[in-house]
Chain A
Amino acid sequence: MKLVTAVIKPHKLEDVRAALETFGVTGMTVTEASGYGRQKGHTEVYRGAEYDVALVPKVRLEIVVEGSEVDNVVSLIVTSAQTGRIGDGKVWVTPVETVVRVRTGDRDADAV
């Protein structure tokens, strides 16, 4: 089992969700997140004054998938979240030891 975590632009959430649903991913956790990568934020003007925007709003997705599906899921996220501009985000994969569905007690593949 693997945990796929993606930090993407907020407006790309629907595209990513739709693509994953088509692929058969049935659930995910979505969190409002803020952060920055290589672009180090950017400058904005708010009510006439200039500000450094240190943290840019993003959406963080977390999806637990079987190891065999990881590459496909990552590719789908990257393709559907890409705009080609700075700040498109990151996707990373981490191993998961075990998964339990709270309602039934099902484990691992049955719980995803």
Chain B
Amino acid sequence: MTATPTRSERRRARAASADNRLRSLWHRAIEALGLPNRGAALVAVGGYGRRELSPYSDLDVVLLGADGYDDHQISALAARVWYPLWDDGGVNGDTSGDNGGGKVRLDHSVRTVAALRTAAADDLRVALGLLDMRHVAGDPALVLSSRAVQLADWRRDAKQRLPPLAALTRERWRRVGDLAQAAAPDLKEAHGGLRDVTVLRALLASWLVDVPTPALGRLGAELLEVRDALHETTGRHGDRLVADYRAEVAGRCGFLGVDDLHSSLLETSRGIAQLASVALRDVDWIRPAPRPVGARRPILDSLAPGVGAYRGEVVLTARAGPSRDPLLGLRAAVAAASRDLVLSDSAATRLGCELAPMPVPWPDEGRALLGQLLVCGPSLVDVWERLDRHGVVQTLVPEWARVRHLAPQSAVHRHTVDRHLVQTCVEASRAAHRVERPELLAMAALLHDLGKGGPGDHSETGAPIASGILRRMGFAEGDVEMVARLVRQHLLLVQTATSRDLEDPVTITAVASAVRDAATLDLLVALTEADALATGPQAWSRWRQQLVATLVEAVRRTLPSAPSAPSAEAPPTARFSRRVGR
């Protein structure tokens, strides 16, 4: 009895099967055209070059001709290799038997050695794909020399090419988001996904950046396992792990359930993201000129007591003492987020291991620092993620564990619950100027979904959790009640606006009595908008905005001391036309 092949073995078997098919077509073509087996070759590139073929991966193949190879002959060769593949579908021969022999897309090109070199010089993505070029059929010496040239070019031009690669990579991260925090993660393109593994390999090949190879290999293989299982489940090409497929993918990968798969993916993708972040920062410090001769010790810019900046990162100074300074974590976080700097891994690790617990109640400075941190805007996301990864967030707010990495229950949500809370803070920071107490808005934004970690209506269960946290932080009792009310009512406006008769005075009175005063209404409006924007585009459609705006104005009119909140902004409802001078 033979053992079932592992997925890694099946990936290699798919590549070998595709190699065999291409090789046989190649030899038939050479024979038919009466050409020598020299001066031209078939080359596997990209994932196929690395023998990492998932069941429905594309096959990237280049027909390489020596410079000066006859154009007509190479065209005839191409026709005799590509056409049979298009005609009979299944390219990789499907030895694994798990892709049903379905069609695999062929990504093909025909180039001379010189043209290939130019293409790599013009396009970073081509250059990255060619770093993995592998001989399949034809002249092996041609492939070997072309590969040597590609690698030599990559290394020679690395100082010029790596910074644009870093910029492209960061742009992709901004566009696609974090794999660990997405409700339907893209296993390839997301931050912490397979594309990052390819980028890291390219950085490693440049000899300018060091990446721990064993860790990279292990993390990449873990992600490929999930991608293979996803292809097996869906029966088609694609890298997005949507909720419908999770249970089956988890089963196929041997996890106990969806939560197990989720935790494993988080660890893997965070590991890759971490390697990529460190490597890209090394790229940022590549300088064409030699290093200046001067001080041997690093020179830190002092940012706050115990906190300094070094090469774009916030670090702890030699005098910092996390074990006797409970505010140090928040000081470092504010220093990083307010200046859009990276909180260094060394600082985050040390804070995670040594940071003293905050005294109860928190000192005034602690509350002030947390308030400053939460209104820092988009730069909060990365800093919070680093604090969370090293356990600092749980030192400050142990209740955070309830929602950490928690997958959302609704398909409308684009983030995990913890990431949604941070994104709500980011959105709320934009509305801070519209409310009297922005620090209370920030706290409500951070805590509004903590009830999701348990049974029952999360708005109701979340309110006492929020109160407990705020009391521990030393907020005044009135403020504690205000935030608890915001948490309890954070869905009130949307739910009422979309399901109740807004022309019925009873509806308006009920909302007004729940809200109580104009200041709370302003806070609740800002929280509602921030929560919806952080949830996803469907949650804050024009339709919903307009209904909420109608409700809010009706409620505001019933609150006697309510002056209209000043704002120079256009209303959220896009279909309003301003009536001027009528």
Which residues of A does B touch, CB under 8 Å?
9-11, 13-14, 32-34, 43-55, 57, 83, 85
Contact = CB atoms under 8 A, between A and B. Distances in A.
Contact of B553 (A14, A45, A52, A57): A45
Interface string B533-572: 0000000011110110110010000000000111100010
B197 to A, nearest CB: 38
Given A49-B578, A51-B576, A11 B546 contact: no
Interface of B: 498-503, 541-544, 546-547, 549-550, 553, 564-567, 571, 573, 575-579, 582
A44 B554 CA distance: 9
A34 B575 contact: yes
Given A51-B579, A54-B577, A85 B543 contact: no
A83 B501 contact: yes
Contact of A47 (B546, B564, B582): B564
12 contacts: A9-B501, A32-B543, A34-B546, A44-B553, A46-B549, A46-B576, A52-B577, A53-B575, A53-B576, A54-B576, A57-B547, A83-B503
B578 A57 contact: no
Which 8 A-B residue pairings sit nearest by Cβ, starting from the closest?
A48-B564, A51-B576, A32-B543, A46-B571, A11-B501, A50-B579, A55-B575, A57-B543
Nearest to B563: A48
Nearest to B541: A32
Taking each of A13, A47, A48, A51, which has the highest tally of chain B beta carbons within 10 Å of its own beta carbon?
A: A47
A47 B499 contact: no
A47 to B, nearest CB: 5
B576 A34 contact: no
A50 to B, nearest CB: 5
A85 to B, nearest CB: 6
Contacts of A52: 576-577, 579
Contacts of A48: 564, 566
Contacts, number: 69
B39 to A, nearest CB: 54
B182 to A, nearest CB: 25
A53 B577 CA distance: 7
A83 to B, nearest CB: 7
Contacts of A11: 498-502
B550 A54 contact: no
A91 B543 CA distance: 20
B578 A51 contact: yes
Nearest to B502: A11
A53 to B, nearest CB: 7
Contacts of B541: 32
A105 B386 CA distance: 52
A34 B579 contact: no
A51 B571 contact: yes
Contacts of A13: 499
Contacts of B547: 10, 57
A47 B564 CA distance: 5
A53 B553 CA distance: 13
B24 to A, nearest CB: 41
A54 B499 CA distance: 21
Given A10-B498, A11-B502, A47-B564, A57 B546 contact: yes
A11 B547 CA distance: 11
Contacts of A14: 499
Nearest to A49: B578
A53 B546 contact: yes
A54 B564 contact: no
Contacts of B567: 47
Contact of A44 (B550, B564, B582): B550
Nearest to B500: A11
A2 to B, nearest CB: 27
Contacts of B550: 44, 53, 57
Contacts of A44: 549-550, 553, 576
Nearest to B545: A57
Contacts of A46: 549, 553, 571, 573, 576
A51 B543 contact: no
A52 to B, nearest CB: 5
Contact of A54 (B498, B501, B553, B575): B575
Contacts of B564: 45, 47-48
B231 to A, nearest CB: 23
Contacts of A55: 546, 575
Nearest to B548: A57
Given A34-B542, A57-B547, 7 more contacts: A10-B547, A11-B498, A44-B549, A47-B571, A51-B573, A52-B579, A55-B546
Nearest to B538: A32
Contacts of A53: 546, 550, 573, 575-576
Contacts of B502: 11
A55 B499 CA distance: 18
Contacts of A51: 571, 573, 576-579
Nearest to B579: A50
